[in-house]
Amino acid sequence: MSTSEPKRALITGVTGQDGSYLAELLVSKGYEVHGLIRRASTFNTSRIDHLFRDPHEDVHPLTLHYGDLTDGSRLVTLLGDIQPHEVYNLGAQSHVRVSFDEPEYTADTTGVGAMRLLEAVRVSGVNARYYQASSSEMFGATPPPQSETTPFYPRSPYGAAKVYAYWMTKNYREAYGLFAVNGILFNHESPRRGETFVTRKITRAVARIAAGVQDKLYMGNLDAVRDWGYAPEYVEAMWRMLQHDEPHDYVLATGEAYTVRDFLQFSFSHVGLEWEKYVEFDERYLRPTEVDSLIGDASFAKETLGWVPNVLTPRLAEIMVDADVARLETEGHAHWIDVVSR
């Protein structure tokens, strides 16, 4: 690579929460960013529209390409065309509850999809470093604190698919010398979090209840313990993992634990409401097998990458509630009609 040539990165899952923050980060660092998007019948790029330029303009820091993690030959041609220096595999069917309804599709996308991308890197011969979005869900039933040396015990089709992807990433590193790393990330959230994950479901409902357009919030297991961090800080660490001299696997977490009930308390009290008056139980939000407690030990990332999370769960809840209140005021209520309630 000549010194004047910008670094090129390919991001799968660029339309998702993490993909959008990572694309922003890499553009700010001068990268030429390429994103894989799935063809949809309506636009699905709202999280990255602000980065996108008309292809007819001279400068376009973000280029989007149609493709899918279930389509291996497309991944090979795409890598050959782009010749990326870094590949971030963030694409996945990422919802744990949905993975029980769609186990085969989840395995295909979240598990085998990672192998297809690794194999595409290998056969296309590109000289790229590879990041795999591994998950604390892989620890499942193994009690906390969980670190890089904790045994996996997945409790969902999603968790099992991520374990497969984790081991394939490790195998490509050992078998072919690929610079491939697993970031084992604990839950991380933001105002861009999908509306059916528990934090965003709560903060979105708080905004609607405070505005008088929703009466009740139906929830599942309030006793689950999670270690919720702030997504923009986590994508910064993904990038640092690929800049390090050697490929390692890293846990990213805050190390602080709260229950879903705690998150309800932080969110409702931020707008002066008592959550107990609005929240009701609905068994449809329970999972056939639950992950009771995830609390990460990110000491290795702190030592090796100098990474320290600053936004902890109570502040995170406030950031998300404020954003949903502001969004509701800007977009109006019509946009918020619940067509899907999960």
Interface with ligand GDR (CB under 6 A): 94, 96-97, 135-137, 186-187, 196-198, 201, 219-221, 224, 226, 260, 285, 287, 290-291
Whole-number minimum distance, CB 250 to ligand NDP, in Å? 12
Which range binds ligand NDP by CB under 6 A, 87-95, 146-154, 307-315, 329-337? 87-95
Among 48, 51, 76, 93, binds ligand NDP (CB under 6 A): 93
Burial of 36 (0-12, 13-18, 19+ CB in 10 A): buried
252/305 with CB nearer ligand GDR? 252
Whole-number minimum distance, CB 218 to ligand NDP, in Å? 21
Which range binds ligand NDP by CB under 6 A, 15-23, 53-61, 173-181, 264-272? 15-23
Question: Which residue number places its CB atom closest to ligand NDP?
Answer: 16
Q: Which does 47 bind (CB under 5 to 8 A by kind): ligand GDR, ligand NDP, none?
A: none
Choose among 217, 210, 227: nearest CA to 195: 217
Rounded distance, CA 122 to CA 109, Å?
19
Q: For residue 140, state whether it binds ligand NDP (rule: CB under 6 A).
A: no
Q: For residue 261, state whether it binds ligand NDP (rule: CB under 6 A).
A: no
Bridging pattern class, strands 180-185 and 225-226: unpaired
Whether the CB-CB separation of 219 and 281 falls below 8 Å is answered with yes
Q: Is the dihedral of CA 238, 190, 84, 29 positive or negative?
A: negative
Tokens (6 digits) for 75: 């991944």
Whole-number minimum distance, CB 43 to ligand GDR, in Å? 23
Residues with catalytic roles? 135, 137, 158
Rounded distance, CA 16 to CA 95, Å?
12
> Which residues, 190 to 219, sit near ligand NDP by CB under 6 A?
194
Q: For residue 17, state whether it binds ligand NDP (rule: CB under 6 A).
A: yes
CA distances from 86 to 25, 66, 133, 241 (A): 14, 18, 14, 11
Which range binds ligand NDP by CB under 6 A, 12-20, 174-182, 291-299, 312-320? 12-20
Whole-number minimum distance, CB 96 to ligand GDR, in Å? 4
Q: Which does 61 bind (CB under 5 to 8 A by kind): ligand NDP, ligand GDR, none?
A: none
Dihedral of the alpha carbons of 333, 273, 198, 14, in degrees to the nearest 10: 50
Rounded distance, CA 135 to CA 115, Å?
16
Q: For residue 12, state whether it binds ligand NDP (rule: CB under 6 A).
A: yes
Q: For residue 107, state whether it binds ligand NDP (rule: CB under 6 A).
A: no
Place of tokens 């195998």: 171
Among 106, 124, 135, 182, binds ligand NDP (CB under 6 A): 135
Rounded distance, CA 225 to CA 295, Å?
8
β-strand partners of 63: 34
Rounded distance, CA 284 to CA 101, Å?
12
Q: For residue 64, state whether it binds ligand NDP (rule: CB under 6 A).
A: no
To the question of whether residue 130 is assigned a binding role by annotation, the answer is: yes
Rounded distance, CA 246 to CA 170, Å?
13
CB atoms within 10 A of CB 176: 12
Choose among 190, 217, 210: nearest CA to 325: 210
Whole-number minimum distance, CB 273 to ligand NDP, in Å? 26
φ, ψ for residue 304 (rounded to 5)? -90, -35
Whole-number minimum distance, CB 77 to ligand GDR, in Å? 28
Specify binding-site residues: 130
Residues at the site binding ligand NDP, with contacts judged by CB under 6 A: 12-13, 15-19, 36, 38, 44, 68-70, 90-94, 109, 133, 135, 185, 187-188, 194
Specify binding-site residues for NADP(+): 130
